[in-house]
């Protein structure tokens, strides 16, 4: 029985069918379908193809002045006609990813309560304690395979924006489908509304969340435990994707659940994997080994910890001991170099603390004058790679970049903070100050840079290269757990798809224009690993790639 026949059987008829964002064909309903499903008179005369409908969308996008306007229009399109939305987005992912996600999503989240149109996903609030499973059953789809859940506690570089953070789970899950073909009906965005520390939002009359400060850590952990168990009960095959929780909460919650349930934290493991992928490509360009690298972090939050943990795991796989791997990683935060005798040192930072004299606290408001103490630490440590996860604009000063370039013939610089105004180093500065020798990537996509007639190609170290592929592998193989090794495999698979031509140009990541093919290839490698290690809970097929490709979502109208 096809979808439209099922719809009629379930009383989806006439306007109900026309307004169903999943089942509607809009003006593409045929004459026969209009007669059969009570749509006659409810549509204009013309019967259009999906391609013709997409032309109309393109024309409307073309006259819009800002990417925020395009974001609002596309989200509205998804609410009206999901098939047409994905047809448009998947036709040119390199163009639409920046509109639907970084960097536009930052502005969209800041204004979320003011541009709100209709509910998408679910809002689980702290006052639902004791009833979370009951509330989750209100979702109309029984077989949910991925939940992306955020508290809005640490959105990009914006900090705590509470319920305004709902744009992130929505956008993340749209990229599961747009980048990796994961069926959208199996995806559920959730905003876990625990309140917000943002007083300005709590005072905003259009703010849509709980107008209270977040609960204590112990109270939050009780709420999370109920939510996690409710998901296991209501959606037992579901991957829990934790996204943009406050850093200390994110680290603690991942540590508690990663070995118990099917889950991951994209800010920790996904960020670690995409940086490891870029580093792997850089080392292929340099013909160097990961065991010989020394990595210096500016910023020591959850993203830094996740990246460092995964780099350390990769170093161990390649023969280093834990102690040797840790010694090759240094972190610098608002208190200076992370050292062992620092009073009140957070537990997650201790593995990366160095036994040395403490440095003075760092004033991020006076980057230029504080830069010398970073340079001094770099001079002493002699890193080959500098990673910015600080959310401090222009933190990589000329002095710092020139020092890295003097210590390394081709320094590796990743300026990962986003949105754009939070980035530690603009690509034109990185290339100019390093005399074109830097291997550079940012958290957002910057255009090519031309200096003295030579064109450079900054990469985008964004997690959308990793987590949709992980989601597709999970959707197909249904593993018991996700291990760190799954992310290492994904990182290696992504790096292996950067062609010799791209590496010769200094590119560290595959082209976004063919992102579906790239993500499927990565998902196949991850699924193979899951079968090899006994993580998968389905029978291993003879041809894993063909098996996964048969499960991909294709945005076409079902007849």
Write the CB contacts of 219 (distance below 8 Å, at least 6 apart in sequence). Answer: none
C-alpha dihedral sign at 324, 325, 328, 334:
negative
- Catalytic positions, written as ranges: 101, 172
Taking the CA atoms of the chain, what radius of gyration do you get in angstroms? 24
The three-class DSSP label of residue 101 is coil
Write the CB contacts of 456 (distance below 8 Å, at least 6 apart in sequence). Answer: 427, 431, 436, 440, 448, 449, 450, 506
Stated as kind and residue range, the H or E segment containing 401 is helix 398-407
Write the CB contacts of 108 (distance below 8 Å, at least 6 apart in sequence). Answer: 68, 71, 72, 115, 167
Nearest residue to 121 via CA among 75, 61, 80, 166: 166
* Alpha-carbon distances of 464 from 176, 274, 324, 518, rounded to whole Å: 8, 9, 31, 11
Q: How far apart are CA 177 and CA 166, in angstroms?
A: 18
The three-class DSSP label of residue 506 is coil
Write the CB contacts of 45 (distance below 8 Å, at least 6 apart in sequence). Answer: none
Stated as kind and residue range, the H or E segment containing 523 is helix 515-532
Nearest residue to 96 via CA among 521, 554, 464, 505: 464
CA geometry: angle at 44 spanning 39 and 46, to 5°? 105
* Region for residue 26 given its phi and psi (left: phi exceeds 0; alpha: psi -120 to 50; beta: otherwise): left
Q: How far apart are CA 413 and CA 295, in angstroms?
A: 10
Matching residue, tokens 């350390």: 312
């Amino acid at each position: 029985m096809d979808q439209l026949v099922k719809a009629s059987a379930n009383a989806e008829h006439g306007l109900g069918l026309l307004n169903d964002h999943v089942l509607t064909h809009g003006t593409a309903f045929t004459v026969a379908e209009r007669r059969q499903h009570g749509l006659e008179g409810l549509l204009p005369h013309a019967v259009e193809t999906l391609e013709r409908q997409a032309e109309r969308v393109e024309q409307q996008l073309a006259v819009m002045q800002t990417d925020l306007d395009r974001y609002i229009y596309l989200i509205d399109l998804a609410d009206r006609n999901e098939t047409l939305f994905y047809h448009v987005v998947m036709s040119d992912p390199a163009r639409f990813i920046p509109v639907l996600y970084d960097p536009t999503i930052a502005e969209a989240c800041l204004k979320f309560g003011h541009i709100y149109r209709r509910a998408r996903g679910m809002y689980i609030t702290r006052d639902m304690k004791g009833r979370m499973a009951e509330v989750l059953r209100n979702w109309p789809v029984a077989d949910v395979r991925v939940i992306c859940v955020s508290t809005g506690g640490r959105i990009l570089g914006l900090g705590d924006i509470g319920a305004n953070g709902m744009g992130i789970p929505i956008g993340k899950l749209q990229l599961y489908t747009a980048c990796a073909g994961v069926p959208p009906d199996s995806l559920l965005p959730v905003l876990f509304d625990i309140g917000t520390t943002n007083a300005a939002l709590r005072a905003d009359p259009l703010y849509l969340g709980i107008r209270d400060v977040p609960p204590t850590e112990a109270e939050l952990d009780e709420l999370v435990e109920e939510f996690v168990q409710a998901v296991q009960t209501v959606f037992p095959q579901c991957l829990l994707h934790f996204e943009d929780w406050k850093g200390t909460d994110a680290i603690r919650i991942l540590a508690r659940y990663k070995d118990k349930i099917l889950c991951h934290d994209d800010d920790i493991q996904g960020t670690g994997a995409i940086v490891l992928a870029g580093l792997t490509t850089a080392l292929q360009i340099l013909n160097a080994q990961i065991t010989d690298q020394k990595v210096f972090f500016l910023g020591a939050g959850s993203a830094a910890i996740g990246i460092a943990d995964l780099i350390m795991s990769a170093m161990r796989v390649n023969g280093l001991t834990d102690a040797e791997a840790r010694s090759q990683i240094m972190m610098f935060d608002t208190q200076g170099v992370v050292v062992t005798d620092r009073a009140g040192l957070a537990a997650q930072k201790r593995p990366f603390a160095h036994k040395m004299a403490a440095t003075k606290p760092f004033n991020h408001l006076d980057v230029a004058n504080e830069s010398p103490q970073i340079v001094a630490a770099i001079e002493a440590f002699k890193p080959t790679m500098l990673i910015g996860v600080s959310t401090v604009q222009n933190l990589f000063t000329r002095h710092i970049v020139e020092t890295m370039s003097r210590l390394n013939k081709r320094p590796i610089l990743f300026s990962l903070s986003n949105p754009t105004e939070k980035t530690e180093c603009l690509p034109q500065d990185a290339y100019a100050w390093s005399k074109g020798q830097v291997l550079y990537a940012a958290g957002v996509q910057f255009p090519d840079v031309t200096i003295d007639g030579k064109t450079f190609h900054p990469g985008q170290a964004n997690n959308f290269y990793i987590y949709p592929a992980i989601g597709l592998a999970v959707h197909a193989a249904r593993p018991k757990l996700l291990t760190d090794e799954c992310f290492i495999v994904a990182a290696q698979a992504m790096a292996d798809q950067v062609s010799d031509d791209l590496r010769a140009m200094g590119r560290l990541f595959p082209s976004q224009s063919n992102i579906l093919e790239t993500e499927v290839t990565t998902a196949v490698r991850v699924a193979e690993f899951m079968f090899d290690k006994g993580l998968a809970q389905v029978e291993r097929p003879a041809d894993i790639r063909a098996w996964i490709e048969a499960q991909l979502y294709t945005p076409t109208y079902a007849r």
